[in-house]
Amino acid sequence: MLLLGLLENVPPDLPCTVFLDQRMPIPEGLSTHINIKQIRPTILARLNVEFKLSRQVTAKDYVICFGNLPPLLEVAGTVTLFLQNRYLVDPDAPLGALPWKARLRLRIEKRWLKLKQNKASSVIVQTRTMRRLAEGTLRRSVECAMFVPEMMALPENSTEDTTSRKFDFLYVASGEAHKNHQNLISAWKLLAGDGLFPSLVLTLNPEKEATLVAQINEASVSHKLNIHNLGQRPHEALFKLYREAGALIYPSCFESLGLPLLEARSSGLPVIAPELDYVRDIIAPVETFDPNSALSIARAVKRHLRKEQDIATPIDVETFLARATQKENP
């Protein structure tokens, strides 16, 4: 969405060439003055692009690297690197939860970024947290400039209208480990144990994330959870979901931005999210929780639903001693 928003606003009188992964769909109506070159997602194809940049870019040209990595070879123009992958700059990134191929790729990309960062005249990130991490890793000044499509730039006025709400909670996310679906489902089990069955809508791809979807389906049946997976949705359909939800719940442990948080805000939707820096960088959630604790998530849901909490009441010392020394009845 960020890349499409950028391309849609390229001035008509500005010659523009874009190298795009061929897996990215190109929407109809994209300006015809943009020269789009679709690239196969292979190492050789990527290296070929690097050679083309080195040969074709002139000193008067501007290059925006939108894929987290600076040019591999010398480029004559002014190069701006847009860095949005937190895995590349966060030393505490949870790499262990990723498949081995992803871990290998990230290690290579981290090395590429550190060794070739001098090829970029400037580095831009989206949030203060990302700037702190990037400056700590790259040892250079980094700019912070969060931009979003116009449709989500400003929040709607009201979050109180519930007449069109069809379900209680929505979580817009893919199924990577850091998205934390496991703790979210565990929280829903705890709620069910307390006799609460709020509805939750997910957007997981049933083919790419078949194992996770199967686990959620099994938990839903065994604990009678009110959870529905709608599958991966086109972006234009998400705003309809935001209008139909009572709140966005976003238990992700690790984000560079968290675009659904901004989308929910622009739709006037209350957000329940972790008490983490990436959240506070961009929104003020109505409730927060510890994403590593299913109980904390469940308690935040209860607070939002205005359900009574089971809070311990302290007793005085005399009562404690009387209870501790009370003999059992014969």
Tens digits of residue pLDDT in 24-45: 888 777 767 789 999 999 999 9
Q: What is the pLDDT of residue 6?
A: 87
Fold that domain 152-303 belongs to in CATH: Rossmann fold (3.40.50)
Tens digits of residue pLDDT in 137-166: 999 999 999 887 766 655 554 444 555 689
Q: What band does 330 get if pLDDT is binned at 50, 70 and 90?
A: very low
Tens digits of residue pLDDT in 289-323: 999 999 999 999 999 999 977 777 888 898 888 88
> What's the predicted TM-score (pTM) here?
0.83
Residue 257: other Cβ atoms inside 10 A = 20
Do 143 and 122 meet the contact criterion of CB atoms below 8 Å apart? Answer: yes
Tens digits of residue pLDDT in 91-142: 998 888 888 999 999 999 999 999 999 999 999 999 999 999 999 999 999 9
- The answer, yes or no, to whether residue 329 has pLDDT greater than 90, is no
Q: Torsions phi, psi of 124, nearest 5?
A: -120, 135
Q: Where are the domains of the chain?
A: 42-147, 152-303
d(CA 228, CA 216): 9
